[in-house]
Amino acid sequence: MLHAERVAPSDAPVLIIGETGTGKELLARHVHRQSGRKGPFVAVNCGAVTQSLAESELFGHQAGAFTGASETRVGWFEAANGGTLFLDEIGNLSPTGQAKLLRVLQTGEFERLGSSQTRKVQVRILAATNTLLPEAIRQGRFREDLYYRLNVIEIAVPALAERREDVPPLARHFLEPGFELGTDAEAALRRHDWPGNVRELANIVRRACLLAPAARIGAADLQLPPSQPGAGVAVREPDRLEIETALARAAGVVAQAARELGLTRQSLYRRMEKLGIAGNDQETR
């Protein structure tokens, strides 16, 4: 897995994949901050855009371009000029929206709806999805050419339960000013399984800030649900020899080695990176 800091200075599009609530937008904002771009970070939910309004939302429109267009409106690309455009739930973008987006990614140019003036902006594209886009391509729901335009760099965000070391710093990020976490609270947060991922963590911390009787939040203030049997028990991670042996048996195919080790592909990539093992995934995308 590539670190956000390593890809941030690039202008290349990034596709962030992960389950719902894993913090994909948080990561995208971090990439934007680390990029040094002076323009804004504009986040949009592609799943909320109807097919009929896709072109207007992406590129804006002139007054009178269609019924109800009483004034000129700037689209997402113009709003993000000089900065970053984050396209969340890209797998839910309508076919019309996919075609329009592909065109501007190919040419770098667009026109507002109802205008013949060609416009050009400098925008870094970050996209995110909880959908398996290769499967969506096979089902005819997502354009393969757009997928490869967006997936120049891929970052997989594992479920929060797979990266417990991230829980305390994320929790501190969500604290209201003036609050702090007690050591017992941090320990309780580490033990929790986080089925709702980062979104659940944010809600629990913000609720604790509202209801805690003191500025120092303790474990009881978090009101975490009871642990399930086996919750918080660390799963033994494979060592270097086990990983290298599995990779050799799988002829370098990371996904196959991950299945043998009982891990997700993203989890194995994280373990390989931690141990300094070079990846050589030969799967066809």
CA separation for the pair 247, 258 (Å, rounded): 8
CA separation for the pair 132, 135 (Å, rounded): 5
Residue 169 lies in a domain: yes
- CA 103 to mean position of chain CA atoms: 23
- Domain containing 67 equals 4-157
Predicted TM-score (pTM) of this structure: 0.72
CATH code: domain of residue 93:
3.40.50.300
More confident residue, 259 or 187: 187
- Count up the domains in the chain and report the number: 3
Q: At residue 216, does pLDDT exceed 90?
A: yes
Q: Residue 260: its pLDDT value, please?
A: 76
CA separation for the pair 210, 7 (Å, rounded): 37
Burial of 153 (0-12, 13-18, 19+ CB in 10 A): middle
213 and 176 belong to one structural domain = yes
31 and 142 belong to one structural domain = yes
* pLDDT band at residue 283 using 50, 70 and 90 as cut-offs: very low
Task: Encode pLDDT of 85-106 as tens digits.
Answer: 999 999 999 888 898 899 899 8
123 and 198 belong to one structural domain = no
119 and 179 belong to one structural domain = no
148 and 246 belong to one structural domain = no
151 and 180 belong to one structural domain = no
| Coil/strand/helix, residue 124 | strand
CA separation for the pair 47, 20 (Å, rounded): 13
Residue 283 lies in a domain: no
Q: Which of 109, 140, 157 is the last residue of a domain?
A: 157
Q: Residue 12: its pLDDT value, please?
A: 92
Task: Encode pLDDT of 121-147 as tens digits.
Answer: 899 999 999 888 998 999 999 999 999
142 and 264 belong to one structural domain = no
CB 129 within 8 A of CB 15: yes
CB 127 within 8 A of CB 97: no
